[in-house]
Structure 1
């Protein structure tokens, strides 16, 4: 019985050593810049469109700018489940044109970043926005 157990252990060790290792996901590149156009929808109002510029830092948070709305701020990561991350948005400038405290959900698929904004837990819970962002040729600052 001991010889059988030893053979089994050796066989398992040999099998584990010969199976090719699964390549780990490459570490996130620092300061990747993403750009795109957001589309906002609100019940009873025509959709509006505006530019988004998003730069992630090495901690998984981001700086977000809405150049055409003249406002922006930061996204603080609240949770991550697999490839889907959830952020709280804090507007730092141009507060009159952007809603502070929204929830952003984002996930990456290839060279695209899917971005969803929700006004739940703000003064404007019915507002939603979405965008598909692509990597910018210009890296973030």
Structure 2
């Protein structure tokens, strides 16, 4: 189900631009998490970030991408790639959560300075940056032209 927006509704005009703003927020928060000498509350900040990113990707997979599938069948390969990338990012997020929760054998993440956590954050940054760049390149122009916005987005 969709709701029609009128041409003066800024959300209908700039959905792609809003996506870029959201992505930029993820980029900033991830950069903060990767800053050397991370704060003692790294665990809390990281878990909050992981949850927000997971929720964003779930919304795209369950609402936006099915909507785009129906409107733009020519995007099938693009959307399939984005969905695969969401799964890869999800696996990295799960690994980070496990490290922060101390579920990884022999790991003490209490000081937030563990090299395994830093390595996973670096890996996440590489995967996520490439994903966000590709998604923006392929979807933002189309999203900025959308008149129908899917419910739940």
Q: Structure 1 length normalisation: TM-score?
A: 0.24
Which of structures 1 and 2 has the bigger CA Rg?
1
Considering Cα pairs closer than 8 Å and 6+ residues apart, tell me whether 1 or 2 has the greater RCO.
Answer: 2
More helix by share: 2
